[in-house]
């Protein structure tokens, strides 16, 4: 008979090591909290993502702005060129905005850098998948599968940074409310392997009433084309990812909080992915580190703020 594994004790367990989760782990570890960061890894789709100038203060606040200057991770983006099927077009130049700089980020490399930042700050990392999470007698017990073995981590607080699945928040009673079901499909582009140089590039967007697509060259010089359309299932569609506009019915509760796409996820056309990751992580970490901590009043206020931000974004979209 095999005995149950001895639980490891942490102040905070962060499930998901994307930008939001790694940012949370970094901020909390720097302030002396014992943090465990958990992620199965291997789920990237080689996607490039645009960072608009309005998001740059959030990178500064998270202490990771220097990553954007690494040419392996990002390249400069001059702005957005939008083209519609009805022949209307518009150009949005980033130099007109405060900060004046935009970037195209290779998410795989960026996320690797963010995990390293968390580790350098003192957070522990485990490659594994959350199997169960239970709240008992004032603390959480998280069961983490690591291949054939299982680890149990006890913590005062658990953070859902699992992305669009929001697997922690939903396990703890929140519902995922979908505003519009969208699927992003990476289209085979005969020019994808063409090197387009290392200089600044534009994000090209083409749209119609039923679907839209974007094309951009990443730091490696390769051009990517993604098509976003209404579709209910990824079944039978290669190189497809969920791109739906959705949010949790509540983004925080009793000693738990969701950040990034787990709290609210946006249509890629809004270019809010990384901005949302860092803004929610900064606010949630601030609540945890405050003298009162993540009490129910803070959880309610945070949930309301996430809901209002999502509603405002949907009106603009």
Query: What is the model's pLDDT at position 317?
Result: 78
Query: What is the model's pLDDT at position 6?
Result: 58
Q: E strands, 61-210, where?
A: 74-84, 89-93, 102-106, 124-127, 129-136, 139-146, 149-160, 176-180, 182-186, 201-207
Strand partners, 199: none
Query: What is the model's pLDDT at position 187?
Result: 76
Query: What is the model's pLDDT at position 43?
Result: 67
Query: What is the model's pLDDT at position 3?
Result: 40
Query: What is the model's pLDDT at position 137?
Result: 84
- For tokens 């465990």, name the residue: 36
Strand partners, 176: 248
Nearest Cα to Cα of residue 48 among 114, 110, 102: 110
- Separation of alpha carbons 298 and 240, rounded Å: 36
CB atoms within 10 A of CB 180: 12
Cβ partners under 8 Å of residue 117, min gap 6: 22, 26, 63, 64, 67
Is residue 239 a contact partner of residue 257, using CB atoms and an 8 Å limit?
no
- Separation of alpha carbons 127 and 119, rounded Å: 13
Query: What is the model's pLDDT at position 192?
Result: 53
**Residues of the chain falling short of pLDDT 50:** 1-5
Taking only the tens place, the pLDDT of each residue in 5-46 is: 456 999 999 999 999 999 999 999 999 999 999 999 876 667
Query: What is the model's pLDDT at position 4?
Result: 44
Prediction pTM value: 0.91
**Cβ-count burial 101-126 (b if 16+ within 10 Å, e if not):** bbbbbbbebbbebbbebbbebbbbbb
């Amino acid at each position: 008979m095999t005995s149950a594994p001895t639980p490891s004790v942490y102040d905070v367990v962060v499930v998901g090591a994307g930008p939001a989760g790694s940012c949370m782990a970094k901020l909390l570890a720097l302030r002396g909290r014992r943090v465990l960061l958990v992620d199965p890894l291997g789920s990237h789709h080689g996607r490039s993502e645009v960072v608009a100038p309005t998001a740059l203060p959030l990178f500064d606040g998270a202490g990771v702005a220097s990553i954007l200057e690494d040419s392996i991770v990002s390249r400069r983006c001059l702005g957005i060129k939008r083209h519609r099927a009805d022949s209307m077009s518009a150009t949005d130049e980033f130099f007109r905005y405060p900060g004046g700089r935009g970037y195209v980020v290779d998410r795989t490399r960026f996320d690797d850098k963010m995990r390293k930042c968390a580790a350098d700050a003192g957070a522990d990392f485990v490659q594994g998948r959350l199997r169960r999470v239970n709240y008992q007698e004032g603390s959480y017990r998280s069961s983490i599968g690591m291949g054939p073995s299982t680890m149990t981590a006890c913590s005062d607080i658990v953070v859902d940074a699992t992305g669009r699945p929001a697997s922690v928040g939903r396990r703890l009673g929140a519902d995922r409310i979908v505003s519009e079901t969208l699927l992003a499909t990476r289209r085979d582009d005969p020019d994808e392997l063409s090197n387009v140089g290392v200089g600044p590039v534009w994000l090209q967007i083409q749209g119609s009433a039923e679907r839209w697509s974007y094309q951009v060259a990443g730091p490696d010089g390769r051009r990517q084309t993604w098509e976003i359309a209404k579709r209910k299932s990824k079944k039978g569609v290669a190189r497809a990812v969920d791109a739906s506009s959705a949010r949790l019915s509540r983004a925080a509760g009793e000693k738990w909080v969701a950040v990034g796409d787990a709290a609210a996820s946006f249509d890629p056309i809004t270019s809010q992915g990384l901005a949302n990751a860092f803004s929610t992580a900064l606010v949630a970490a601030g609540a945890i580190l405050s003298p009162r901590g993540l009490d129910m009043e803070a959880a309610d206020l945070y949930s309301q703020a996430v809901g209002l931000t999502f509603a405002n974004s949907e009106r603009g979209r």
